[in-house]
């Protein structure tokens, strides 16, 4: 998979003041599942690190290697684009409209060579403060049902990370179909190959389901 298509290489994940060890451990597991190699924390308030290690399972090495910072400004100092993540409606201090997951992947793809983005997740209890949002160029609004917009921290991290995996795999698949990728699937890592198989299997399942129901499109 080319670096142009692998969005994971362009992203740094930052958790601001996480308090629940189980959430932090689950975030580690989710990130390793999706092919990430690390993350950072800003002033973690975790009291039970044993619970974090328990929930991380085989991703405990990521927990041990996590970088910690005293301020969000320091954590995102090297980022070209800083995005605050929210599962509920939030207003950007500069009045910018929230972006969606499609906007996120598109803008990550268009970052300059060597450009990095920081995706910032707020504390479990109340999310990012207005001051913290002020350090973000944009707010990513995760799609949820209006009846309950608040997401668990680890769930939110997984949704965003998996979205980038699906985007990268789908781009790679299209290159193979078009025949303009000089590499074959033998160049994929195990996690990338599994993601590719799952993605293709999902497409086949939706196609079969649509045919069985007599629909011409998946969303008919």
Output the domain CATH number for residue 53: 3.40.1280.10
| 119 and 51 in a common domain | yes
Range with lowest mean pLDDT among 146-150, 167-171, 177-181, 213-217: 213-217
Q: Is residue 41 part of a domain?
A: yes
CA 84 to chain centre: 12
Q: Give me the domain span that covers residue 134.
A: 7-167
- pLDDT at residue number 88: 62
| 98 and 36 in a common domain | yes
| 119 and 19 in a common domain | yes
Edge-first strand listing for the sheet containing 11-16: 67-69, 40-42, 11-16, 117-121, 81-86, 138-141
- pLDDT at residue number 66: 96
- 8 A C-beta contact, residue 117 and residue 80: yes
Instruction: Retrieve residue 18's tokens.
Output: 């996480």
Highest mean pLDDT: which range of 94-98, 114-118, 162-166? 114-118
| 134 and 32 in a common domain | yes
Q: Is residue 2 part of a domain?
A: no
Q: Is residue 218 part of a domain?
A: no
Q: How many residues can be counted in the chain?
A: 220
- 8 A C-beta contact, residue 62 and residue 30: no
- pLDDT at residue number 45: 96
Task: Report pTM.
Answer: 0.78
Number of domains in the chain: 2
| 125 and 38 in a common domain | yes
Q: Which alpha helices (DSSP H) does the chain contain, by range?
A: 21-33, 49-56, 60-65, 72-75, 101-109, 130-133, 153-178, 190-212
At residue 218 the predicted structure's pLDDT band, cuts being 50, 70 and 90, is: very low
Q: Is residue 84 part of a domain?
A: yes
| 40 and 139 in a common domain | yes
- Per-residue pLDDT of 105-154, as tens digits, reads 999 989 988 899 999 999 998 889 888 988 999 999 988 888 888 889 99
| 191 and 105 in a common domain | no
| 198 and 114 in a common domain | no
Distance CA 220, CA 210 (A): 8
| 107 and 93 in a common domain | yes
More confident residue, 93 or 120: 120
Q: Is residue 1 part of a domain?
A: no
| 194 and 98 in a common domain | no
């Amino acid at each position: 998979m080319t670096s142009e298509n692998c969005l994971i290489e362009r992203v740094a994940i930052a958790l601001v003041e996480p308090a629940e060890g189980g959430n932090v451990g689950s975030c580690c597991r989710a990130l390793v599942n999706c092919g990430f190699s690390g993350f950072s924390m800003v002033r973690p308030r975790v009291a039970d690190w044993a619970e974090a290690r328990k929930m991380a399972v085989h991703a405990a090495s990521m927990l041990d290697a996590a970088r910690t910072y005293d301020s969000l400004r320091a954590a995102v100092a090297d980022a070209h684009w800083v995005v605050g993540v929210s599962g509920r409606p939030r207003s950007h201090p500069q009045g910018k409209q929230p972006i969606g997951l499609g906007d996120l992947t598109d803008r990550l793809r268009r970052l300059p060579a060597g450009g990095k983005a920081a995706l910032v997740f707020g504390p479990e209890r109340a999310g990012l403060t207005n001051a913290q949002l002020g350090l973000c160029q944009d707010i990513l609004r995760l799609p949820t049902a209006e009846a309950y917009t608040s997401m668990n921290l680890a769930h939110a991290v997984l949704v965003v990370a998996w979205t980038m995996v699906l985007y990268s795999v789908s781009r790679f698949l299209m290159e193979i179909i078009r025949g303009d990728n000089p590499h074959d699937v033998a160049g994929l890592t195990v996690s990338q190959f599994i993601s590719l198989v799952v993605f293709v299997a999902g497409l086949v399942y939706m196609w079969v389901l649509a045919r069985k129901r007599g629909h011409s499109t998946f969303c008919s």
